[in-house]
């Protein structure tokens, strides 16, 4: 049985807007995420005086990061995936010069990680963009946003070129087709034409960031990031199989462009049938030729596809409505638990792209109970992660080249989908509730010690 590679990158994953807090400190501007008071479908109206949101403070990672990094190091992390808040660097998105206070914060964060030999894996844009770009340019609906993103990317590449060697462009870039405001900053109910034009601009910007990274940090690796929305045919009826193919293509399209450097032929038919005519310049086509070094993705659940969806009830999983698989159990939040699906997805992506893969999100949201003695017995989380990591090991034995695994999230954080604290993922409990009350004290859960043992043994303890 092939085991995990000796240089396998074990760690955890989180996002600036879900942990940092300090939403308006040190010159930070308002981001789209700051306006989403109730999760990914939140409002888009700028804050008024007195408005507050649980993300305002989140878990106060902005001020408490030294103790959190120390706890991650205690678990043995080799890598920590987080994001840079774009609005800490360019508060409105189109300033002539970056905000030095924001740049300095991430210098301090990366230096703290370096003390413990933890590699940063940094996402340039994780479900947030400057709201100033939404107000002035209609977000990614405008070609102007491409240049502003490229400028931001070049700024942080130049600043952190000696500190960060692993980068991602956009978090779950395919989310734009499900939540356009979250993904591409489009308000209201945009048409498919508007959504896919905005997606095209974002794909061009991603490719230009890849080009810039290769120029500025030649020894770095930069990847894309997909929401792994695996769909099985509900039955072996050929029409269900075809529907499954088409549903999977909806999100694989993003990977195909970023890995292969061109639009897949079958998207031409989709565009024709939906009256979508993209404005694509020759410069765009040249830009898209700059392809990623590796493919990263999130995986939480799978679903089913059928040509007769009216026959089945759908369930809300994050913000994608899925037809449940009758063979699987689900979490409290309706996310179906499918460890074997992760092995299937790893093999599918490896066969399709033949580029190294990186699992950058996988975890279980659950309600944790702090016992009277302060312990937190989250055996359900341990079981979930163990079952998935066993399938990861199987995929490696299948021949999949895998760089690492960062669980979501290593510490309790504000849920992106529900804007809750009580939907907890972490190995570390943070004393804060959905009303924003609590001491913010950190406690190690039982899963903390389990994951420490998994990392120490490089997976052998599974």
Q: Which residues are catalytic?
A: 172, 361
Left, alpha or beta for 151 (phi > 0: left; psi -120 to 50: alpha)?
alpha
The strand pairing partners of 361, in sequence order, are 298
* Cα-trace Rg, the chain: 21
**What is the Cα–Cα distance from 176 to 196, expressed in whole angstroms?**
9
Contact 34, 23 (CB under 8 A): yes
Q: What are the C-alpha distances in Å from 181 to residues 15, 31, 108, 226, 410?
A: 17, 11, 31, 17, 27
Tokens of 446: 């039982």
CA dihedral angle for residue 342, residue 344, residue 346, residue 352, rounded to 10 degrees: -150
Contact 141, 185 (CB under 8 A): yes
Go through the chain and tell me how many residues it has: 462
Contact 430, 414 (CB under 8 A): no
Beta strands in 20-77 (DSSP E): none
DSSP state of 174: G
CA end-to-end span of the chain, whole Å?
Answer: 13
Contact 172, 179 (CB under 8 A): no
Which backbone phi and psi does 366 adopt, to 5 degrees? -155, 165
């Amino acid at each position: 049985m092939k085991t995990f590679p000796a240089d396998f990158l074990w760690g955890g994953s989180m996002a600036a807007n879900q942990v940092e807090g300090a939403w308006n400190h040190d010159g930070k501007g308002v981001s789209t995420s700051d306006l989403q008071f109730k999760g990914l479908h939140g409002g888009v109206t700028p804050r008024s005086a007195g408005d507050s949101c649980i993300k305002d403070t989140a878990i106060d990672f902005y001020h408490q990061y030294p103790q959190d990094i120390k706890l991650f190091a205690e678990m043995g992390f080799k890598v920590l995936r987080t994001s840079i808040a774009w609005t800490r660097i360019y508060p409105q998105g189109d300033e002539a010069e970056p905000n030095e206070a924001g740049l300095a914060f991430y210098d301090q964060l990366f230096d703290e990680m370096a003390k413990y030999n933890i590699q940063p894996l940094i996402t340039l844009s994780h479900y947030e963009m400057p709201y100033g770009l939404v107000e002035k340019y209609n977000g990614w609906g405008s070609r102007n946003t491409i240049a502003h993103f490229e400028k931001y990317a070049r700024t942080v590449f130049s600043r952190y070129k000696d500190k960060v060697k692993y980068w991602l462009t956009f978090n779950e870039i395919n989310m734009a087709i499900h939540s356009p405001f979250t993904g591409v900053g489009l308000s209201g109910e945009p048409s498919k034409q508007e959504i896919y034009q905005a997606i095209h601009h974002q794909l061009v910007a991603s490719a230009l960031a890849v080009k810039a990274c290769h120029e500025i940090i030649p020894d770095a690796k930069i990847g894309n990031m997909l929401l792994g929305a695996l769909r099985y045919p509900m039955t072996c009826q050929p029409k269900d199989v075809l529907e499954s193919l088409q549903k999977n293509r909806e999100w694989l399209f993003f990977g195909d462009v970023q890995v292969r450097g061109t639009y897949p032929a079958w998207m031409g038919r989709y565009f024709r049938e939906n009256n979508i005519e993209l404005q694509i310049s020759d410069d765009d086509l040249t830009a898209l030729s700059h392809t990623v070094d590796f493919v990263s993705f999130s995986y939480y659940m799978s679903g089913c596809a059928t040509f007769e969806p009216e026959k089945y009830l759908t369930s809300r999983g994050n913000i994608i409505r899925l037809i449940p698989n009758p063979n699987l159990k689900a979490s409290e939040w309706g996310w179906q638990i499918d460890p074997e699906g992760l092995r299937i997805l790893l093999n599918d992506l490896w066969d399709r792209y033949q580029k190294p893969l990186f699992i950058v999100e996988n975890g279980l949201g659950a309600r944790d109970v702090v016992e009277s003695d302060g312990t937190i017995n989250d055996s359900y989380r341990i079981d979930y992660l163990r079952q998935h990591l066993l399938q990861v090991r199987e995929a490696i034995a299948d021949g999949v080249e895998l760089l690492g695994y960062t669980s979501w999230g290593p510490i309790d954080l504000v849920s992106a989908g529900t804007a809750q604290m009580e939907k907890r993922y972490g190995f570390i409990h943070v004393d804060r509730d959905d009303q924003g009350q609590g001491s913010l004290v950190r406690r190690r859960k039982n899963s903390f010690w389990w994951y420490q043992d998994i990392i120490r043994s490089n997976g052998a303890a599974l």
